Chain A
Amino acid sequence: MKRLSTSGIVVAVLGLLIVITPIVLPVCESLLELANGKQVPMSCHWTARAEMIFGALIVVVGLMIAFLKKPGERQRLYHQVAFLGLVTILTPLFIIPTCMHPDMACNVATKPALIILGGIVLLVGLAGSRTPTEPSSEATA
């Protein structure tokens, strides 16, 4: 089996962690029923859904990096990784913000976990998108 890129595997694992974060650290259902029967929409539900999709995309890009041979091709994919990491961070903050109440589960656990994982993905993407190193030449007799 040909040797896979370690960093690609790392990206894929990070993506997987983002996907499972809303499962391990659950958020509210889409609607929350109050004592008087009124239903209040919970935006964090949609935040989690979006993050799971981004996480899945990161897994796919990570696997592509792992299987690709040429450093130049990998570099382009790392740009995408960095972008996805940034989107992962921005989603719970601005794009689909979580609930207002600071003590809700989404704010206490899920949101910080996603931001931290998104930050790591962003850093890995930025590091990987630097100038690729050429494979070393064979020794001559």
Chain B
Amino acid sequence: MSLNNSKNAAAKPVIRLDNISKHYQQGNETVRAVDDVTLQILPGDFASITGRSGSGKTTLLSLIGGLTTPSRGEVEIFGEAMSSLDDDALSSLRANRIGFVFQFSSLIPTLTALDNVRLPGMFGEKSVSPKDAADLLAWVGLSDKLQNFPTELSGGQQTRVALARALTNHPSLLLADEPTGNLDVETESEILTLLRNLNRERGMTIVLVTHNPELAQHGTRHLVMQSGKLIENIIVNKEVLIRE
């Protein structure tokens, strides 16, 4: 049984997954990292994906972002089937319309914070000027850390830089894989505030993988993964869509 949120029923989904599966061979065993998931993320959604370690959260996020191809099923993003896009087209999509924030340090250690933020400009439609990068870093509260290298920044500061970097090309969709994974509660809260501002003030669609179910309550949709399956897809006003 599935129920749609009546408010967003008319909007075309940003992301649409139809019976998506992702399998790996591990020796003689087939690992079903994602198993037959059907899902829609609507424009302006702030979807959180939770679940235990190994439940398939990160794999699901990677499928959404085109970082890996499904073993079965179809991924549709911005109305286009990913299977119809070649690698160059997928790269262009990621460069111009999707922003990624990863778990652990994903910054280039030999580049300053400013240059790390400017980096995606190499792959997008236009380069990022030092001023634009500085503005983004100021928005995340790091205007005094422009010339610092990642090793000179704390974990929280690195995550902020990664967030600023993900916003460089003004993406419509932000995919964040446990960005607060190794941060303290206070810093985690600060990062969450930034994400909420992006969603509410700029209408950015966000998909956030988090280990913390409490964080999920701050979004608009809560997805729960278990053993590769999507067992819960909850609108945060407590309306249950799917329950296994």
Contacts and interface: CB of A to CB of B under 8 A. Distances in A.
- Tell me, yes or no, whether A and B come into direct contact in the complex with CB atoms closer than 8 A: yes
Interface of A: 136-141
A103 B55 CA distance: 81
Nearest to A136: B152
A78 B154 CA distance: 36
Nearest to A140: B154
Interface of B: 148-149, 151-154, 157
Interface of A is mostly: loop
B148 A137 contact: yes
Contacts of A136: 148-149, 152
Contacts, number: 15
Contacts of A138: 152
Interface core residue of A136, A138, A139, A141 (most chain B CB under 10 Å): A139
A35 to B, nearest CB: 68
A137 B154 contact: no
Contacts of B157: 139-140
A132 to B, nearest CB: 16
A136 B149 CA distance: 9
Nearest to B148: A137
Contacts of A139: 148, 151-154, 157
Nearest to B184: A141
Nearest to A138: B152
A138 to B, nearest CB: 7
Contacts of B152: 136-139
13 contacts: A136-B148, A136-B149, A136-B152, A137-B148, A137-B152, A138-B152, A139-B148, A139-B151, A139-B152, A139-B153, A139-B157, A140-B157, A141-B154
A139 B152 CA distance: 4
A141 B153 CA distance: 8
Nearest to B145: A140
